[in-house]
Chains A and B, each alone.
Chain A
Amino acid sequence: MDFNFSDEQNMVRDGISRLVREQYDWDTRRGIIASDAGWSPEFWAQLAELGMLAAPFSEEDGGFGGGAVETMLIMEEFGKGLVVEPFIPSVVCAGGFLKHAGTAAQKEEYLSAIIAGEKVFAFAYAEPQGRYDLANLTTTAKKDGEGYTLNGQKAVVIGAPWASHFVVTARTSGGQADQNGVSVFIVAKDAAGVSLRDYATVDGRRASEVYFENVSVSADALIGELDNGLPLIETVVDEATVAVCAEATGAMQVTHAMTLEYAKQRKQFGVPISTFQVLQHRMVDMFMEYEQSISMSYLATIKLDEGEAERKHAVSSAKVRVGQSARFVGQSAVQTHGGMGVTDETAVGSYFKRLSIIEGEFGSVDHHMRRHIKLTAAA
């Protein structure tokens, strides 16, 4: 049993922590999300230059031999700074698909470019009717000569406006929600027939509805097995889920620290409100919540490499715990800040908004509770 990080892992954490503190302070972030692009390609290039986009990949794949722990450390720091850049869509998701199932040629063409920051991916999987069911797909990919033709709509594709490419899940056979018949494709954003409706999200990011209309891709756009893509998708989404849990733990720690600081300064009835026991105990509860979430983030990160059932059990446990903590910590922070908590100018509101959206990302508390129940009832 060991909760220590290796020297290399500590270097990743220290490096990313310094970078976020120095290059991604509150005003800089405000500027970035208000800009036309809505993200900072310069910051992304810097991450690539420092090797951060390579951190979770093996040396054969052009990385530094890291894995889920590196992703966790990076995402926790990103959570502290509310970094909007698309580490999860491009590195964890697209990089994950390529790492697990990419051919040598696909890795050569795409993974090295992801690591170098030259190609940026978004992950187009959710659909308007599918909620959190990864297999409920109306987007189709039909065999067309050597290649495939895609048709359909993907919902709230995070980072799509910034992306050069998409990883797209599509139905290649079977009924709308069948477990079989799901496949995964790489589609260039500039492919004929791809169109986007871009928008901002409430937590400072950008996303799109992405439409595919008779989009032709070649046979080598398929990642993994034809029709048997679901286990791969579940693996990658579990990895992304754990990454967003780590992001939440970072955001919660800062939210808590901010609340504590505010309570010490804010005076009512002639004394700092931090002297009121009812607020002290609420802040203690916030502390206990994020500590429990950190524990679950560790557990799920470690269990990602275990067998499918154990992995899913740990990931859903973590997402339930983190989702509940995120709601409690976010709401308590706003409440303790009083009116200031609901103004647009204070940072706490932005942390609250991000935490609120994280609750539903890659499955809500209820979704993961149901998955947990199914797994334990089967056991």
Chain B
Amino acid sequence: MNLEFTAEENAFRDEVRSFIENNYPQNIERAAVQDDMSPEDMTAWHKILGKKGWSVPAWPEQYGGTGWTPTQRYIWSEENARVNAVMPLPFGVAMVAPVIYTFGNEEQKAKHLPGIRSGEVWWCQGYSEPGAGSDLASLKTTAVRDGDDYILNGQKTWTTLAQHADWGFFLCRTDPDAPKPQQGISFILVDMKTPGIEVRPIKLIDGGYEVNEVWLTDVRVPAENLIGEENKGWTYAKFLLAHERSGIAGVARSKRGVEQLKDIAKHEMLDGEPLLQDMGFATKISQLEIDLAALEITELRTLAGEQAGKGPGPESSLLKVKGTEIQQRLTELTLEAVGYYGAPDFRSFPADGSNDFPIGPDYAHSAAPTYFNMRKTSIYGGSNEIQRNIITKMVLGL
């Protein structure tokens, strides 16, 4: 038992670090709220990695994966977190692509995988509906076969960054009479430019527009866009959700976040001493660091299991729950740390720049929006309560 990286793994780290240092676009930083970034900035690194052949490390090599071991992928994510890199969005790379290369036909693979790999094609996820959140299988959007097409009708919601999307993957009901709701669902790829699709942005508590309602009215989609078999969509959806959860722990990014938080706590003063010296606040930071260390080792144990041939199992639910709890605590402590300067709403400043002088420390500007925004993490990807249901079933055997 040891935690050392091998000489090969250290050499790999050097290689990717120098590639990142030489190629990461200097002016692009992760924004607290995603839609504060331009679509070009959000995909710039993805496109560079696509050219390098590193945009989809986890895919099978035949489709463009790098063949890296889970440990190498871990190193990769750590090195990207060091520079706060804007990574490829998950909707194409980590969500729909594994479904396409696992269950799609050759035409679908040839048509869609290259654009996902290169970052040229933007994808969004049409899963949740106003009446179907945690109970996703109760979804009502319909796809009715009409000759060589499906006609889609219904409403999706919480569709992240759909305002920029070229394509979407949608769960639709194709058999309303199936004995179980899970059995009548199909997985359909939709060109977002198809007539009848309306994307309506939803303003969130952080003031941004990260998610949307997507209204579908008589949207005509070629039947060749069906993935796998009709009415088997639920199987593919579950497969996708398990994929979505692995890597969701966000350990590398949280480690960086802890360093930033400590930096803030060194600058903020309390009774003439840095906040970091205050026993109460220092205890919260130490607790966060300790919990993050535990999560990191748990993730490494899971990775070691994967390396030994075990697929991502119910452990990924643990990683999701603990990882998002830590991400949220990090943002909550950051808001706490900045004190009064958490309050100014920087979006409210006139666009003409008339209020364009420094108000409070720079690090305070994003504290509140980030805290508000990150409440989503325990809700999305299967809420943390749903994750506990999964562990109940898969680990406790109840």
If A373-B279, A377-B282 touch, whether A280 touches B389 (CB-CB below 8 Å) is yes
Q: Would you call A1 and B279 a contact (CB within 8 A)?
A: no
Q: Which of A1, A369, A377 contacts B4 (CB 8 A)?
A: A1
Dominant secondary structure at the B interface: helix
For the complex, give the distance between the alpha carbons of A293 and B3 in Å. Answer: 17
Is A295 in the interface zone, CB < 8 Å from B? yes
Q: Would you call A1 and B294 a contact (CB within 8 A)?
A: no
For the complex, give the distance between the alpha carbons of A292 and B298 in Å. Answer: 6
Q: Would you call A287 and B391 a contact (CB within 8 A)?
A: yes
For the complex, give the distance between the alpha carbons of A183 and B38 in Å. Answer: 66
Is A35 in the interface zone, CB < 8 Å from B? no
B70 CB to closest chain A CB, in angstroms?
Answer: 10
A237 CB to closest chain B CB, in angstroms?
Answer: 19
For the complex, give the distance between the alpha carbons of A101 and B395 in Å. Answer: 46
Q: Would you call B2 and A317 a contact (CB within 8 A)?
A: no
If A264-B398, A284-B391 touch, whether A372 touches B1 (CB-CB below 8 Å) is no
If A1-B304, A2-B304, A377-B276 touch, whether A291 touches B283 (CB-CB below 8 Å) is no
B71 CB to closest chain A CB, in angstroms?
Answer: 6
Q: Which of B286, B301, B396 contacts A295 (CB 8 A)?
A: B301
A317 CB to closest chain B CB, in angstroms?
Answer: 5
Is B332 in the interface zone, CB < 8 Å from A? no
For the complex, give the distance between the alpha carbons of A299 and B300 in Å. Answer: 11
Q: Beta-carbon contacts of A52-70 to B below 8 Å, as 1s and 0s? A: 0000000000000000010
Is B23 in the interface zone, CB < 8 Å from A? no
Residues in chain A near residue B1, CB distance under 8 A: 2-5, 9, 69, 298, 301-302
Residues in chain A near residue B322, CB distance under 8 A: 288, 292
Is B235 in the interface zone, CB < 8 Å from A? no
A interface bracket (residues with beta carbon within 8 Å of B): 35 or more
Q: Would you call A274 and B287 a contact (CB within 8 A)?
A: no
Is A283 in the interface zone, CB < 8 Å from B? yes
Q: Would you call A281 and B398 a contact (CB within 8 A)?
A: no
Residues in chain B near residue A280, CB distance under 8 A: 388-389, 392, 396, 398
If A295-B294, A372-B290 touch, whether A275 touches B398 (CB-CB below 8 Å) is yes
Of A1, A260, A317, most B-chain CB atoms within 10 Å: A1
Residues in chain B near residue A171, CB distance under 8 A: none
For the complex, give the distance between the alpha carbons of A293 and B6 in Å. Answer: 26
Q: Would you call B283 and A373 a contact (CB within 8 A)?
A: yes
Q: Would you call A292 and B291 a contact (CB within 8 A)?
A: yes
Q: Would you call B321 and A317 a contact (CB within 8 A)?
A: no
Q: Beta-carbon contacts of B9-39 to A below 8 Å, as 1s and 0s? A: 1000000000000000000000000000000
Residues in chain A near residue B239, CB distance under 8 A: none
Q: Beta-carbon contacts of A274-316 to B below 8 Å, as 1s and 0s? A: 1101001101110110011101101101100000000000000
Of A260, A370, A373, most B-chain CB atoms within 10 Å: A373
Residues in chain A near residue B285, CB distance under 8 A: 376
Q: Beta-carbon contacts of A1-37 to B below 8 Å, as 1s and 0s? A: 1111100010000000000000000000000000000
Q: Beta-carbon contacts of A147-163 to B below 8 Å, as 1s and 0s? A: 00000000000000000
A8 CB to closest chain B CB, in angstroms?
Answer: 12
For the complex, give the distance between the alpha carbons of A260 and B393 in Å. Answer: 12
Q: Which of B3, B289, B294, B388 contacts A281 (CB 8 A)?
A: B388
Chain B residue nearest in CB terms to A295: B297
Q: Would you call B297 and A296 a contact (CB within 8 A)?
A: yes
Q: Which of B289, B300, B389 contacts A3 (CB 8 A)?
A: B300
Q: Would you call B396 and A2 a contact (CB within 8 A)?
A: no
A10 CB to closest chain B CB, in angstroms?
Answer: 11
For the complex, give the distance between the alpha carbons of A296 and B296 in Å. Answer: 10
For the complex, give the distance between the alpha carbons of A4 and B308 in Å. Answer: 10
Is A189 in the interface zone, CB < 8 Å from B? no
Q: Would you call A260 and B289 a contact (CB within 8 A)?
A: no
Residues in chain B near residue A288, CB distance under 8 A: 318, 321-322, 391
Apart from A292-B291, A299-B293, A369-B283: 18 A-B pairs, beta carbons within 8 A: A2-B1, A264-B398, A275-B398, A280-B388, A280-B396, A283-B396, A284-B388, A284-B391, A288-B318, A288-B321, A292-B322, A295-B296, A295-B301, A298-B1, A299-B297, A320-B286, A320-B287, A320-B290
User: Which B positions have Cβ atoms within 8 angstroms of A?
Assistant: 1-6, 9, 71, 276-277, 279, 282-283, 285-287, 289-291, 293-298, 300-301, 303-304, 315, 318, 321-322, 385, 388-389, 391-392, 395-396, 398
Interchain residue pairs A-B with the least CB separation, the first 8: A295-B297, A292-B294, A280-B392, A284-B388, A295-B298, A284-B391, A317-B290, A3-B304
Enumerate 6 A-B pairs (CB-CB under 8 Å) in ascending A order. A280-B389, A283-B392, A292-B294, A298-B1, A320-B286, A320-B287
